[in-house]
Amino acid sequence: MSTTVLYDAPGPVARRRSRIVSVVGVVLVLALVGYVLYLLGRPRVSANGAVTPGVLDPSRWDILQDLALWRAIGRGWLNTLRAAALASVLAVVVGVLFSFLRTARSRWVRVPTTVVLEFFRGMPVLLMMLFILLVFSTGAFWAVVIALSIYNGALIGEALRAGIASLPKGQREAGLALGLTPTSTRFLIEFPQAFRQMLPIILAQLVVLLKDTSLGYIVGYVELTRQGLTYLGTYYGSRYTFTLFAVVLVVYLVTNLLLSWVVRIVDRRTGRRGVVRGRGRGRGGLGGPGLLARAGRPEVDAATGAAQPTAP
């Protein structure tokens, strides 16, 4: 369908107005950025008359040449990655478990699971960390890991449940027609497709999990934020607080941008390949002829789906 069917192409007056609005918008943004840089760069005068150099003054950034600073930042960054990696694995496991229980046929399993899911999804992560730390005395590291695993596992489980619900009914019916049990159908046919379909959402949630590790600052876990703003801020003095804050911000930003880049790559690949393949070569894809051949139907060709002649 041509795009001109949906709307008329802009004329000379509309194009000129659009260019004027764009130029004015760019000028306003540049003016705002310049004003912010001016505020950051001008010296500060305290109540007793002492003059403090501005944030952009080179004297407030000379600690970046200290290797001890980067070693300490590296230790905090590794602690952040350690907590995020373990919590990510546990969150996926918890999410898979929740998705199976949430879609169970028995109401005695499905209803309590729904209540537990809604409770964990509605509970703030920080309160969960404090509860685990104070009640179970697990230590700061495990309080952060367990809280992030449960909270993000509940979100991942709901995403997987939605992915299973979005599959065509024929997928489940085909599995049952082949003689598979409802549990085997869910595990072998429906769940792999739902997981593959929701993989970009799951990875995006794991990026959020990485950022939520900064809440460990409150419960005493020495992750990147606490290492940068507390220990290093105390060691170097309040003069470099903004500098340390900027360093921590850049480290978080670069890490999250790399993870987001991985998510976009996975999203493009899963989007091109799709969930269910109609035709395939060799294996036949999920839900295709290859599934019938692998499920004990040797008379069905795995590549074309055509019936093969059988010996009399």
pLDDT digits (tens, 9 = 90+) for 162-217: 888 888 888 888 888 888 888 888 888 888 888 888 888 888 899 999 999 999 99
pLDDT at position 87: 96
d(C-alpha 303, C-alpha 204), whole Å: 35
d(C-alpha 25, C-alpha 35), whole Å: 15
pLDDT, mean of residues 28-51: 83
Q: Would you place residue 283 in the very low, low, confident or very high pLDDT band (cuts 50, 70, 90)?
A: very low
pLDDT, mean of residues 111-133: 92
pLDDT at position 293: 40
d(C-alpha 116, C-alpha 101), whole Å: 11
Whose structure tokens read 């040797």?
A: 298
pLDDT, mean of residues 65-88: 92
Highest mean pLDDT, choosing among 68-77, 259-268, 275-284: 68-77
pTM score, whole prediction: 0.74
pLDDT at position 273: 53
pLDDT, mean of residues 65-94: 93
pLDDT at position 26: 95
More confident residue, 157 or 12: 157
∠ CA 43-49-54, nearest 5°, is: 15
Average pLDDT along the chain:
81
pLDDT digit string, tens, across residues 239-270: 788 888 889 999 999 999 998 888 888 778 76
Q: Would you place residue 103 in the very low, low, confident or very high pLDDT band (cuts 50, 70, 90)?
A: confident
| DSSP annotation string for the chain | --GGGTSPPP-HHHHHHHHHHHHHHHHHHHHHHHHHHHHHHSPEE-TTS-EE--TT-GGGSGGGG-HHHHHHHHHHHHHHHHHHHHHHHHHHHHHHHHHHHHT-S-HHHHHHHHHHHHHHHHS-HHHHHHHHHHHH---HHHHHHHHHHHHHHHHHHHHHHHHHHTS-HHHHHHHHHTT--HHHHIIIIIHHHHHHHTHHHHHHHHHHHHHHGGGHHHHT---HHHIIIIIHHHHH-GGGHHHHHHHHHHHHHHHHHHHHHHHHHHHHHHHHH-SS-SS-SSS--TTSHHHHHHTT-TTB-TTT-PBPP---
Q: Residue 63: what residue type?
A: I
Quick one: CA torsion of 184, 189, 193, 198, rounded to 10 degrees? -20
**Domains of the chain with CATH codes:** 62-274 (1.10.3720.10)
Tokens of 206: 């794991």
Q: Would you place residue 98 in the very low, low, confident or very high pLDDT band (cuts 50, 70, 90)?
A: very high
pLDDT, mean of residues 282-304: 43
d(C-alpha 192, C-alpha 86), whole Å: 23
Q: Tell me: pLDDT of 219 over 70.
A: yes
Q: Tell me: pLDDT of 91 over 90.
A: yes
Q: Would you place residue 130 in the very low, low, confident or very high pLDDT band (cuts 50, 70, 90)?
A: very high
pLDDT at position 11: 79
Q: Would you place residue 42 in the very low, low, confident or very high pLDDT band (cuts 50, 70, 90)?
A: confident
Residues facing 300 on adjacent strands: 307
Q: Report whether 206 contacts 87 (CB < 8 A).
A: no
Residue 184's CB is within 10 A of a number of other CB atoms, namely 14
The residue among 88, 97, 119, 117 whose CA lies nearest residue 204 is 88
d(C-alpha 258, C-alpha 310), whole Å: 54
The residue among 214, 207, 189 whose CA lies nearest residue 276 is 189
Give the up-direction half-sphere exposure of residue 264: CA atoms within 13 A in the CB hemisphere: 6
